[in-house]
Amino acid sequence: MGAKTLGVILITGLALFTALYWLAEAQVRDTRFEEIQAQLLERGEEYFAPDNITYEVVVSSSGFDPATLEIEVNSTIEFTNTLGSPVTIRGTGAHPFMSSVDADAGASTRFGADGVTTVTADGVSGSLEVASGPEALNPLAANCARCHGPEGEGGQVGDTGIQAPNLHSRAIFEKLKINPEYVNLVIRYGGVVVSGEVSSRMPAWSNEVGGPLTVEQIDALTALVESWATEAGEQPVEEVPDTVEAGAQVYVDAGCGTCHAADLSGGAGPNLQTIGSEPVTEDLPVPLSQLDQLVADFEEDPRRMLELWIRDSAANYNDGTGTGMPAHPDGVLSESALRALITFLLDQT
C-alpha cells in the first residue's frame, strides 16, 4: 500500500472518528440539557407552590370531620365550631396546642412538627388523629400561587381587587418571541417590566435588587412559566364568541385586571367602569398628545376607538410615545378575542 493511499485512509478514518465523536457528544449534551430542564421544572413547581396548605376540619357534637388526617409539615388545620357554644380544642403529641373557638367561628393552627398529634375538644366525642410527615413545600418558596393561583391560572391579589394574570398565556408566548428574556426579567425586576409602573403589585424577586430569590430559584420559575406559555402558544387559536361573557374572560386571560383591577375600578391603570358610555380622559398614566382625537374617535365609533387604543395606544394616540398601556398586536390578542373584549368594555356603563 502506497504512502499516499495510507494517508487518505488515515485522514478518512480520522474524519469519521471526529464526526462520530461529535454526534455522540451532541446526544450527550441533548440528554443532559433535558435532565437539567426537568430538574428546573420540578424546582420551579416547588417554588411556585403555596408555602402552606390549609385543611378544614368541622367540630360538632358528633365529633371531628374528618376524624383522621395525613398532612405535610408546615400545613395549617382550620377548625370550624358548629356546636353553638364556645369550645376549647387541644392537641397533644408531636404538635401540642390549645385554641378557644367561639360558636360558629373558626380557629387555626399550623403543624410544624413531624409525628402524630391527637386533637380533642371539650364536650365532643372522639378525637382527630393528625399524622404529619416531611414537608412537601418549601416554606421559603416565592409562593407565586398566592396571587396567580395554584396552577398559574390567575387569581385575585389579596383584597386589592387587582387580578393577577393567567400564566398559561399565548400573550407571554408572543412576548418571548420578541424578547427571550421576558419572563426572567419580569420575575427578577417585577411588574415594572410589564407596565412601566414602579408601584406594580408584582414585586422584584431577585436578591440582586433586594428580593428573596437566588439566581437558581429564578431560573427554575422562569423555566416553569416559559413551559406553560409555550404550551399555550402551540395550541390552535380558538374563535372567541362575541359576547359580554366571553369578553369578560378575555379581560381576565389577557391580564387586564393587573392594571385595571378585576372589577375595572383601576389601579396602575385608569378606572374603566363607565368606558361603555364615555372615553377615559382622566387619571391616565401619561398625558396624551392626541387626546382630542381620541375623544372624537370615540364619539364617532367607540368600538373602533377602543380597537386602536388596545392594539397600539402609543402609535395611534400619542405620536409613538409610550402611554403606559402595552400594545396588543394580533399575535397577543386575536381578532375574535379583541372583538369580545371590546363588547365587554362597551357593556360597562
Q: Is the distance from CB of 265 to CB of 161 less than 8 angstroms?
A: yes
66 cis-preceded (ω within 30 degrees of 0)? yes
Q: Smallest Cα–Cα separation from 71: which of 112, 127, 125, 121?
A: 112
Structural domain 54-133, CATH architecture: Sandwich (2.60)
Q: Which residues of 218-229 are buried (b: 16+ CB within 10 A; e: fewer)?
A: bbbbbbbbbebb
Pairing of strands 97-101, 87-93: antiparallel
Q: Biggest alpha carbon distance in the chain?
A: 106
**pLDDT per residue of the chain (349 residues) written in tens, 0 to 9:** 566 676 666 677 677 767 666 666 667 666 776 888 888 888 888 888 776 678 999 999 889 999 999 998 878 899 999 988 999 999 999 999 999 888 888 888 988 888 999 999 988 989 999 999 886 555 456 788 888 888 898 877 766 667 788 899 888 998 899 899 999 999 999 888 876 667 677 889 998 998 888 898 899 999 999 999 999 989 888 899 999 999 999 998 888 888 888 899 988 889 999 999 999 998 888 899 999 999 999 999 999 999 999 999 999 999 998 888 888 888 788 999 999 999 999 999 9
Beta-ladder partners of 72: 133
Predicted confidence at residue 6, as pLDDT, reads 65
Q: What is the DSSP letter of 213?
A: B
Say which residue the cell 359580554 belongs to.
244
Please give the class, per CATH, of domain 244-346.
mainly alpha
E strands, the chain, in order: 54-60, 63-65, 68-72, 75-81, 87-93, 97-101, 106-111, 115-121, 128-133, 155-156, 163-164
- pTM of the predicted structure, to 2 decimals: 0.57
Q: Is the distance from CB of 72 to CB of 50 less than 8 angstroms?
A: no
